[in-house]
Amino acid sequence: MEFLTDYGLFLAKSVTLVVAILFVVGSLVALGQKQKKQHDGDIDITHLNDRLKKFKQALEDSILSKDLIKSQEKARKKKAKEEKKARKSKPVEELEDKARVFVLDFDGDIKASEVSRLREEITAVLTLAKDKDEVVIRLESPGGMVHGYGLAASQLERIRQKNIPLTVCVDKVAASGGYLMACLANKIVAAPFSIIGSIGVVAQLPNFHRLLKKHDIDFEVLTAGEYKRTLTVFGENTEKGRQKFVEDLEETHVLFKEFVNEHRPQVDIDEVSKGEIWYGRRALDRQLVDEIMTSDDYLASKCEESDVYLVHYLEKKSLAEKVGLSMAKVAETLALKVSKLSSNKV
């Protein structure tokens, strides 16, 4: 009995500690949100050519014989020496004649949240990129809010306006808002089973009016303007409001179709704009994409002829955000330990 009492006290103290830590974390996060400011970030650059060379060299060191490795290393050094000598003999204006490829990643959610990071990366790239260079966007998105993806597409439009070749690589999915972005590219490269298309518009919302009415709860929606609110979650929806809502969806769909048709005039817009999706190979048949290939193969081929750089914007976190993340990790660890203890049999 004494053991059970001690164990109960220990468990109560542990739970209290976890709750206290979670409270502190919540307070810090709330403070961080309240005092949130735009923090300057850093641009992180990775030279993918060097990364690929390291992978190759690591495999060679593990697989090839020592004599062959020595011979290849000697040949590499000789080639590097010759290239260095050739560069010295060139005029200064010809030293930077090698094309560069700038790689950006966009992993889209329903709000296109990464557009804030994408805009910083594009701004950085445009300070240096020239029309002989190329920008590659590795795009993954099932779509989302119209205004969010409209802004994301506008960021890609900045690259086109500078006459810099733009390529979008899709390994998994570029549908709806994702395809709205992708169609801006000069070239769309898609993996064989990537999901492409969904050129349509959808909206859905629940309505609790009958439930509220059943419990004698009134809900009023006051507006100024006939169509300020068409459909509501809690109020009674009218056929007139529903019709207006559908008209707005249709208008958005028309804008979507016009946008795709403008940037990919080769597609049969009436055929592909019914909200359907296609896998990569079928999308190629409908000219929604230009080539079937993974982004890995595409970038590896580019490394053979160009300097390829992965560009990533790292936003600096405030002190409150850093402390909050650290405390959250501690709380998670403690909660896991307490959970394991409480599951033990006595």
Q: What count of other Cβ atoms lies within 10 Å of the Cβ of residue 162?
A: 16
Handedness of CA 202, 205, 206, 210 (dihedral sign): negative
Q: How confident is the model at residue 53, as a pLDDT?
A: 86
Catalytic residues: 176, 228
Antiparallel, parallel or unpaired: β 291-292 and 195-197: unpaired
Q: How confident is the model at residue 146, as a pLDDT?
A: 95
Q: How confident is the model at residue 346, as a pLDDT?
A: 38
User: Rounded to 5 degrees, what angle do the CA atoms 155, 161, 163 make?
Assistant: 120
pTM of the model: 0.75
Q: How confident is the model at residue 343, as a pLDDT?
A: 47
CATH superfamily, domain at 41-198+276-316:
2-enoyl-CoA Hydratase; Chain A, domain 1 (3.90.226.10)
Q: How confident is the model at residue 25, as a pLDDT?
A: 60
Element spanning 282, H or E: helix 280-285
Q: Give the residue extent of every domain in the chain.
A: 2-36+320-342, 41-198+276-316
Q: How confident is the model at residue 316, as a pLDDT?
A: 72
Q: Spell out, as residue ranges, where the chain has pLDDT lower than 70.
A: 1-39, 80, 83-97, 317-346
